[in-house]
Amino acid sequence: MTPRTAPRRLAAATLVATLVPVGALGLASTADAATASRITVTTSDSSVSSGEQFVLSGRLSTPGVVRVQTREGSTWKAVNGAVVDTRSDGTYRVRVVLGHTGDRTLRVVGDPTAAGVSNSQAWIHVLVS
């Protein structure tokens, strides 16, 4: 090793030592992302009258809270009163009443109570006349 190449080798060794922990952190974040929850949704009636009650039900893979939202333009809005805790097995049942008519897109958002588990969502369409 010449005096000119010694600093280069030291710099290269430092760079490799720095990159190894960063790579390990990248693997850990990928593993964390793998713990996503899943949610299903079905409706008791896909065609309802304005103001008529219907039921959304399904299962969240990890028990938690389920919220119902409706698509209005380009944003999602909470449906008033449509928030429930799941049972211990993750199943849920929520009553929904919609006032605006038309083809409505709803989504249920599952918010698990378990640490490190991400939210999930599922969509369903209902015709309100």
The model's pTM is: 0.71
- Measure CA 126 to chain center: 21
The predicted structure's pLDDT at residue 10: 46
Q: Distance between CA atoms of 11 and 24, rounded to whole angstroms?
A: 21
Residues 114 and 58 in one domain: yes
Number of structural domains (the chain) is: 2
Eight-class DSSP state of 102: E
Q: What is the CATH number of the domain that holds 99?
A: 2.60.40.1940
Residues 61 and 123 in one domain: yes
Residues 64 and 29 in one domain: no
- What secondary structure does DSSP assign to 1-44, as a single string? --TTTHHHHHHHHHHHHHHHHHHHHHHHHHHHHT-B--B--EES
The predicted structure's pLDDT at residue 6: 52
- In the chain, pLDDT over 90 holds for what percent of residues? 64
**pLDDT bracket for residue 35 (50, 70, 90):** confident
Average of per-residue pLDDT across 58-79: 94
Q: Report pLDDT digits (tens) over 94-115.
A: 999 999 999 999 999 999 888 8
**What is the extent of the structural domain holding 21?**
1-34
* Structural tokens at position 117: 């588990």
Q: Report pLDDT digits (tens) over 3-18.
A: 555 555 544 444 333 3
The predicted structure's pLDDT at residue 4: 58
